[in-house]
Structure formats: C-alpha cells, structure tokens
Amino acid sequence: MNQYNLDFSDRNVLVTGASRGIGRATAQMFARHGARVIVHFHSNRKAAEETLQLLDSEQHVLLSADLRNPAAAAGLVESSVAAVGGIDVLVNNAGVFEEHQVTKVDYESWQASWTRILNANLMGPANLIHQVVPHMRKQGGGRIVNVSSRGAFRGEPSAPAYGASKAGLNAMGQSLAKALGGEGIYVFTVAPGWVETDMAARELESPLGEEVRQQSPLGRVARPEEIAWTILLLAAPGSEFMTGCIVDVNGASYLRS
C-alpha cells in the first residue's frame, strides 16, 4: 500500500504563476522537499527571479509564457521538458482577476473581460494539460493540481467571468480525473478563499479587511504556505484515490453541502 512520501527529489514540477503569492509559496514548498521546479511567469521577471533565488539551488528553471496564447502554452511545456527532461507534477496556479460588474461596464468592456479571464484561467490550464499529458503517459503517470477558488461556488457578483472560469476549472478537473485515472495520471483541485497575496492586498488593507478576516471562525485569511502545503500533499504518493476531488481551503469561511 502506498505511504505518503514527501521526498520529491526525483520529481520535476511546473508551477505556473510562480512569481508571487500562492505560486511562489508552492515553488518554495516543492523545492524544500527536493523537487526540481520550473518557475513560470508571464511578465514580472523581477519577481520571478526573486522566487528563483528563494529556492536556493541551481537546479531550478525560470521560463516565461503568456498562457492566454495557445502556442505559448504548448511552448512552455516543450521548453520545460527540454530543460529538465520531463514533468511529473503540473500546478495550474496562474490566473487573473478583474472586476466587470454587469450593471457597470459597457458591452465592449464586458466582452474583453470575459475573453481575458477565460483565456487565462480556464483555457490556459486546459491547453497545458493537453500538452503535458503525452509526456506523463510516456513516463508512466503524473499529477495535475489546479488552483480554483471558493468563488466558483459562492458566486462572484463583481467578477462573474472569474467565478465562471473557476467553476469550469473544477468541472474540467473532475472530467479529466475520470479520463486519465487509468493512465496513472491523477487530477486534483484546490479551492482557496481569501489568501494573503498581492492580488488581495488592496481589499485586505482597506476598511473591509476586518470583515473579510471575520468570514472565517479563525479570524484571518489563509497564508500562501497553507495552500502550498495542500498542493504538496495532493501531489504526493498516497493521494491517488483522491483524484477528482475539490479540496476547500478557506478556513470554514464558506461551507458547501
């Protein structure tokens, strides 16, 4: 029977959106447990290089790609495989959030927001998975962890495309868990609530910040490291029978039946 083994010293892990926040913490978590990490970023090279320095080893790789572009997503997988020899774990963390309330934006802005968000948050991960699966099959298996959001369940009235993209990510993960489980490729989803990241800083530092923190009985929001720890556990041997799961990591701020 498989036992949990948190030694990733023979594993290559691609973490998208690893320049900061959850992605940076996840890259650090895997590196701390011995993995060779491919640190992906879109445009913030300085922040990505800071992540790379925090990993404290020369074995890790830094790669850039705009995952809204299907060709760039495919290129990221090929560059990763060329750099390290394969991908054992894919963490689909990169994503965007922008407000586009239906009663407050014009039609052109509405269309643009939906296109940007769906391409980044849903099509980007879908394209990466399509491209990484042949490599995982050749290796005899792999792990895919998608980073979703509680917004997929509770709704995002000021950013409906964001909520829809994360709901789509959830459904895609479940579908692919069924499609790929027999190949030894396991697919998991993590759904955080509020997390202490740059993306959330404006709201958390505003007068609404305390109200947000009190949504959880713990009286705070999650630390990026807590999300990263959950991702690490799902990627570890022993979690196979959790394939298809959606793990809520929101401090009981939103409970779904």
- The catalytic site residues sit at 162
Q: How far, in Å, CA of 95 to CA of 236, rounded?
A: 24
Asked if 190 contacts 247 with a C-beta cutoff of 8 angstroms, the reply is: yes
83 near 77, Cβ under 8 Å? no
CA distances from 244 to 43, 141, 144, 175, 182 (A): 31, 15, 10, 8, 13
User: d(Cα 206, Cα 255) in Å, to the nearest integer?
Assistant: 25
How large is the greatest C-alpha to C-alpha distance in the chain, in angstroms?
57
